[in-house]
Amino acid sequence: MRYRHALSAIALAAAPAALHAQPSYLDLTVNDVGIAIGDAPRVTGLRINFRDRYLERVNGVNLTVWTPYQATGDVRGLAIGVPATGAFNIDGLAVGIAGVGAENRLRGIAIAPIGAGAGEEITGLLIGGIGAGSGGRVTGIAITGIGVGAGQEVRGAMIGGIGVGAGGRLRGLGIGGVGVGAGDDVEGLMIAGVGVGSGGRIRGISIAGVGVGAGEGVTGVTIAGVGIGSGGEVRGLSIAGAGVGAPKLSGIVITAIGAGTVDFNGGVLAPIYFRIERDGSMRGVSVSAFNRLSGVQHGLTIGVLNIAEELRGLQIGLLNIARRNPSGRRVLPIVNWGSRD
């Protein structure tokens, strides 16, 4: 008798917990099609709930009043949340008075005055008052008041009031009030109030109020208020308010102060100075007050003072120095020339 009473007491005590573990909702559906009010797991039609916990699948409209206990299930269609809506996957239109979030994937259109985010992937049109971000990829169009970012790749047209960034590649259009950057390559049109940067290569058109820099190379049209630099080659049209520097420069370089490199191929206009580092080479034309070439000059330099370690071209300036020329032509005014290549 004692054991029977004990088992009965355990069963009664466990009953409320068991009931609590089951979803509670008003089911107005037929074979899950129709309207459900409460935490219905599966609905095709309209589902209205205070706060999601048991969501498995909604095809249609999922309307919630509070953020989910945890982001589970898939919503295909329209997801509306106050203050936020969320699920494991959202495909369609998601609107949160504050935010929109998906544990895995968010595809379609997301509108959130604060922000939108996903654990793995965001694809489509995103409008966030503060930001939009993904642990994986962001693809499509994103417009935010502060920033757009992804742990892996960003592709499409991205506008962030402060910045746009990717842990991997950034491709397309990137506009940041402060900066645009990626850990890997940057390709496309990038505009930043301060800087554009890449841990890999930059290809395309880059415009920055202060500087543009890349670890491996810059190719295309590059315009910076102060400077342009790279650990690799800078190729194309480069215009900088102060200077341009890289181990190799190719194309047209225009600066307000100077430029420096080891190997140069193209044309440079640098009012103050142009420098070739030791054992480097220059092929093309340089117009600068001071052309200092500590290597081999192939081509033409025009300036006030022109110095070349080895001259295989032509110097035009007030004073021209070619250190390895024959003794009678090492220092000449107006014009100096060297041997042919």
Q: Give the model's pLDDT for residue 115.
A: 87
pTM as predicted: 0.86
Q: Which residue has the tokens 């370690």?
A: 309
pLDDT score of 22: 67
Residues in Cβ contact with 37 at an 8 Å cutoff, skipping those fewer than 6 apart = 25, 26, 28, 48, 49
CB count within 10 Å of CB 136 equals: 18
Please tell me the distance from the alpha carbon of residue 270 to that of residue 290, in angstroms, as a whole number.
9
Which amino acid, 214?
A
Strands 186-192 and 201-208, by their bridges, are parallel
* pLDDT tens per residue, range 127-143: 988 989 999 999 999 99
* pLDDT tens per residue across span 59-73: 999 999 988 998 899
What's the confidence (pLDDT) of residue 309?
Answer: 96
Q: Is the peptide bond before 247 cis (omega within 30 degrees of 0)?
A: no
* Dihedrals phi, psi of 328, to nearest 5 degrees: -80, -10
Q: What distances in angstroms separate CA 14 from CA 40, 113, 199, 328, one per listed residue? A: 23, 43, 58, 107
Ramachandran bin of 11, using left for φ above 0, alpha for ψ from -120 to 50, beta for the remaining angles: alpha
What residues does each domain of the chain span? 22-129, 261-341
In three-state secondary structure terms, 83 is: coil
Mean pLDDT of each 10-residue bin along the chain, 341 residues long = 33 39 83 96 96 95 91 95 92 93 95 92 93 94 94 96 96 97 98 97 98 98 98 98 97 97 98 96 98 97 97 97 94 91 52
Q: What is the pLDDT of residue 23?
A: 76
Q: What percent of the chain has pLDDT over 90?
A: 85
Q: pLDDT tens across 25-42, in order?
A: 999 999 999 999 999 999
53 three-state secondary structure: coil
What pLDDT, on the 0 to 100 scale, is given for residue 24?
85
